[in-house]
Chain A
Amino acid sequence: MTDATTELKVTAASDIEVDRDALDRSIHEFAGPNGDYYVNAFHKIHDATSAVPNTFNKWAAALGPFWSASRAIWGMFWTFLILEIIAWVQIGRGAWGNPGADMAERAERQQARANELLERAAAATEQGDIDRFTKLAENIQRAADSSFEKAAAAQSESLGIMLTGLVMLLVFKLVQGLYADRIYEKQYSRWRIDPDSTESGRSTRNTVLGAVLIAAIGPLIVYKFTVNASLAMLDAFPEKEVSALFLGEDGGTLFSSLASWMEAKIDAAALAGGDVFDGIVAGVRSVLDALTIALIGSPWPVVMLVICVTAWRAAGPRVAIFTAASLAYIALLGYWDVAMETVALVGAAVLLCVVIGIPLGIWFGKSARAYRAAEPVLDLMQTLPAFVYLIPIIAFFGTGNPPGILATIIFGMPPVIRLTALGMRGVPDSIKEAAVAFGASKWQLLKDVEIPLALPSIMTGVNQTILMCLSMVVIISLIGGGGLGKEILEALQYAAKGPGLLGGFAILFCAMVIDRIVQGAFRREDEKI
């Protein structure tokens, strides 16, 4: 193995000669056309010891973004395309634009107004009016004069603007020339690591794409910003004309026809599935009614006592005192019934979220495919602003508390689903395997191993869901949901600051009490494991 040629030699780092052949071949392969130039340039960059650029790429300087596009350096392309366009706009404004035009126009207007006021002063009969009009006319005349001056000054600056533009352009070109090879060398380094997804060489596709982008963007922008009277076509999208193209002259707009089509579809669907939707509403209502009876139907001292004791048992004496104080605030200000309605609304929504969400989460935790399919839907449920789905909810379920609960469920359910699935996936395989090895059936595995081990995660999910549901309380009052949200909405409509703030505090206290109690209960649960 160890003959003379392969014998290992240890050499001091300072004695090592740079072997350029392999590097040159690789640079050639990367650069494609004009490889020799880049071999040379990259060598200079590799040999450099300071950050000051020591190469100048005259093509990059002359062609600017077109060069970077042809070499597929898109970051550089966009940066310098924008910078060069700014320079060109300055040049255009100086060369053929009318920089003082808007100011001159304003001056004309002010002059006209001043003249008009003077005429009125002349026509006036009473001394007071004459004085007043004259005074006004003088003021406006002064403003007009200053506007004229500014306009003239702007006019005279046009040469300066053009020169600034030219200097900017020159600087940008210079920077591109100086840094082009350095940036290209960075791309080369990336390409060495990941040759498949890093573009290299010079392709026709990139060159053409760059040319088209420059041709499409540059002239239009320069035109729009340098010529004062620009084309209407460029200012606003010609939506009417395009609609006419599709629908004929009298077909209305695309928007109106699409909107009315959707409306018809939604109406038809609501009518067709009427029984189903009514059934859902009835189901939700029965849950809500049960909770409402428990909270409002029971005598208030009983409910108060139960809540305070729950707070104490679940989260300790401090939370219990806070709870008692909050309840006192709510009761003393006459919010008791509406507050309990809010709690019933949130409670019903959370209950339904948990009942539907946990089984779904278990399923998604076990089936990666189902989770992949559901994930976009869950994302949508959380990101879609609530106002967007309030409208279809009204269409299908009407208004009032049950549809409000449905809207709350849409927003509140994703966390419990997600965290249940997460918890299920986090159960160690070894423990599951052990249970199976001892003869556990699928159901026993779920009941004895998976759910208990996923429980902390599921609890976090339930907690998140409760908070999300609370945050919907005000929004659902828009579709007829009752409770404290309704109070706030009314206060908002009349800009009633006092009632609004008091109601707001009532909601805040409700939310804090529920959050404290739930968190306290879960913390105790967590400590056990």
Chain B
Amino acid sequence: MDEPVVKLENVWKIFGARAEEAMAAVRSEGIGKPEVLERFNCVVGVQGATFEVPRGEIFCIMGLSGSGKSTLVRHVNRLIEPTAGKIEIMGQDVSKISESELRRIRAQQIGMVFQHMALMPHRSVRDNVAYPLEIRKVSKSKRWAVSDHALGLVDLTGYEDRLPKELSGGMQQRVGIARALASDPEILLMDEPFSALDPLIRLQLQDQFKALVAQLKKTTLFITHDLDEAIRIGHRIAIMKDGVIVQIGTPEDIVMNPADDYVREFVQGISKLKLVKAHSIMEPLASYSGPTEGAPRADEGADLDQLIDLAVNTELPVIITDGGSDVGVVTKPRLLRGIQGGKND
């Protein structure tokens, strides 16, 4: 049960008529994106992407437009064929399976949500949600029941017989999510699902989605161009630039230890208050020599926000505990540096 649900190994995608030649040249000569464009007139979409997503994790792929994130995620259900590399879903190599088996996996194991909803305008909300089941030739009574249940999960009970155009953008995207959930898939692929919505609705949907996925334990690949969204939703985040995955890590990892200047620039504007935990900024109790008498205590999982609340009322540092025993202290200078993003002096 511990094998990853989705596993990509050195996946490459090169677009263009001479993709094979270009791939061979990349392998033998190690040429980069500009040379491939110049010599073969091919565009490199994804360069050597490797990652694993364990069961139940929300894995965010973050990058600006054109960074290859949508291309990458479409490899998982083979909407795009990789030029090179291996893709496994629950231990099964998707590039080796037959056309009909692929359709079965798409219909049963993978749900997908699109940026522009992509609902069928001529079908009712209920029939839209039931479409993945209809493809699998599930009986009408069964698929209506399932689709009503899925609509209930996204709080859309009562809208079953409406046409998509009668619903607001946020509601339409909830229909999209219900459709992705209808066939009870193992994997959810979310392609910038909330990008086209206005900020308030987006926040609401993010929370709703996070709760829903935690409850249903779906393995999720979530694409976004918004780092805030990635941090809110993702257990782990992969940052992409020009088709390369620059860094993979937990939100805290990424914010505290950006891999390069590109990531650092992104992370700069992010508020660290809720992200950075005490254990990553504390100094060991042993090396601290100041007074600790009467100092407030906090768990090592406490975030900066909580530490600040404790620190404002005292001149003393905050003592950090782990399971009841004191392990370290957070002094004022460390706290302030932590808010800045963990710069050490």
Contacts and interface: CB of A to CB of B under 8 A. Distances in A.
A185 B324 CA distance: 89
A527 to B, nearest CB: 12
B335 interface: no
A439 B107 contact: yes
B202 interface: no
Contact of A438 (B116, B122, B131): B131
A455 B103 CA distance: 26
Interface in A374-430: 428, 430
A441 B107 CA distance: 11
B135 A438 contact: yes
Contacts of A431: 118-120
B79 A437 contact: yes
B109 to A, nearest CB: 10
B122 A529 contact: yes
Interface in B173-197: 179, 183, 189
B337 interface: no
A303 interface: no
B329 interface: no
B173 to A, nearest CB: 13
A435 B131 contact: yes
Given A444-B135, A448-B131, A437 B120 contact: no
B132 A438 contact: yes
A438 B106 contact: yes
A430 B189 CA distance: 15
A436 B131 contact: no
Interface residues of B, number: 27
Interface string B125-149: 0000001101110000000000000
A433 B122 contact: no
B103 A529 contact: no
A440 interface: yes
Nearest to B136: A439
Interface string B81-115: 00000000000000000000001111110111011
B77 interface: yes
Given A434-B114, A439-B104, A452 B122 contact: yes
Contact of B107 (A438, A449, A453): A438
A449 B120 contact: yes
B106 A437 contact: yes
A439 B135 contact: yes
A435 B105 CA distance: 13
Interface in A449-463: 449, 452-453, 455
A440 B189 CA distance: 17
A438 B134 CA distance: 10
Given A438-B106, A439-B106, A448 B120 contact: yes
A452 B121 CA distance: 9
A438 B114 CA distance: 12
B93 to A, nearest CB: 18
A431 B119 CA distance: 6
For this complex, into which size category does the number of interface residues on chain A fall?
10 to 19
A430 B107 CA distance: 17
Contacts of A455: 122
B264 to A, nearest CB: 24
Contacts of A428: 116, 118
Given A439-B136, A452-B120, A453-B121, A433 B107 contact: no
Contacts of A441: 103, 135
B302 to A, nearest CB: 42
Given A435-B131, A437-B79, A440-B135, A430 B106 contact: no
Nearest to B106: A439
Contacts of A448: 120, 131, 134
B60 to A, nearest CB: 19
Nearest to A528: B122
Interface string B201-236: 000000000000000000000000000000000000
B135 A437 contact: no
Given A434-B114, A440-B135, A448-B131, A453 B104 contact: no
Contacts of B183: 438
B118 A430 contact: yes
Q: Which of B77, B106, B115, B135 has the most CB of A within 10 A?
A: B135
Given A444-B135, A448-B131, A437 B122 contact: no
Interface in B1-16: none
A233 B112 CA distance: 78
A529 B122 CA distance: 6
Nearest to B128: A434
A428 B112 CA distance: 17
A448 to B, nearest CB: 7
Interface in A223-279: none
A269 to B, nearest CB: 42
Interface string A54-96: 0000000000000000000000000000000000000000000
B120 A439 contact: no
Nearest to A438: B132
A440 B100 CA distance: 10
A444 B135 CA distance: 7
A444 B103 CA distance: 11
Nearest to A436: B79
A431 to B, nearest CB: 5
Contacts of B108: 439
Nearest to A529: B122
Interface of A: 428, 430-431, 433-441, 444, 448-449, 452-453, 455, 529
Interface of B: 77, 79, 103-108, 110-112, 114-116, 118-122, 131-132, 134-136, 179, 183, 189
Given A448-B131, A453-B121, 19 more contacts: A430-B118, A431-B120, A433-B79, A433-B118, A434-B114, A436-B106, A438-B107, A438-B111, A438-B132, A438-B135, A438-B183, A439-B103, A439-B105, A439-B107, A439-B132, A439-B136, A441-B103, A444-B135, A452-B122
24 contacts: A428-B118, A430-B114, A430-B118, A431-B119, A433-B79, A433-B114, A434-B114, A434-B118, A437-B77, A437-B189, A438-B112, A438-B132, A438-B183, A439-B106, A439-B107, A439-B108, A439-B132, A439-B136, A440-B103, A441-B135, A448-B131, A452-B122, A453-B121, A453-B122
The 8 closest A-B pairs by CB, nearest first: A439-B107, A439-B106, A434-B118, A438-B132, A439-B103, A430-B118, A437-B112, A452-B122
